[in-house]
């Protein structure tokens, strides 16, 4: 995929990609993000997103590094809900920060997931959009 072509990960056991959601005050606008390579080290600031991928057939488009990219509706909804109106937010999101079409990359990134979640400043858990039942629960 063209988004990942210029963002190859070195096989050094500590490099990951991070996704920065650009701020926007228009909640109906398409999510725009920037993806970059970073080394997991002390002082690296990011949040990790834990969520259910959802139906792979239900997709929406977001922009990553200026390129349209189809993601699951559940991920698009999560990114939209997590987008701040004024400040960029940086996340590690498995579906985007690991090239899902590159088996070799998945083979060395998946074992790092525990360390990635452990290095995050916090983990955000996305349970999905609220509905009547969830409002009662919370």
Q: Which pTM value belongs to this model?
A: 0.90
Taking the C-alpha atoms of residue 92 and residue 98, their distance in angstroms, rounded to an integer, is 9
The ranges of the chain with pLDDT < 70 are 1, 134-138
| Mean pLDDT (the chain, rounded) | 91
Q: Per-domain residue ranges for the chain?
A: 2-6+15-126
pLDDT in tens, 117-133: 999 999 999 987 777 77
Q: Contact 121/45 with Cβ under 8 angstroms?
A: yes
The alpha carbons of the chain give a radius of gyration, in whole angstroms, of: 15
DSSP result, the chain: -HHHHT-PPPSSSSEEEEEEEPP-S-TTSPPEEEEEEEE--TT---EEEEE----TTSEEEEEETTEEEEEEHHHHHHHHHH--SSS-EEEE-HHHHS-TT-HHHHHHHGGGHHHHHHHSSEEEEE--S--HHHHHH-
């Amino acid at each position: 995929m063209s988004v990942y072509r210029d963002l190859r990960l070195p096989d050094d056991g500590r490099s990951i990609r991070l996704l920065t959601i650009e701020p926007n005050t228009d909640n109906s606008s398409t999510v725009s993000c920037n993806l970059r390579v970073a080394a997991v080290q002390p002082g690296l600031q990011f949040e990790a997103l834990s969520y259910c991928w959802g139906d792979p057939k239900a997709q929406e488009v977001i922009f990553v590094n200026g390129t349209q990219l189809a993601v699951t509706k559940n991920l698009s909804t999560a990114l939209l809900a997590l987008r701040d109106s004024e400040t960029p937010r940086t996340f590690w999101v498995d579906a985007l920060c690991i090239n899902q079409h590159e088996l070799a990359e998945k083979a060395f990134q998946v074992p790092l997931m525990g360390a990635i979640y452990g290095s995050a400043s916090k983990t955000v858990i996305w349970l999905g959009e609220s509905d009547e039942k969830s409002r009662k629960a919370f």
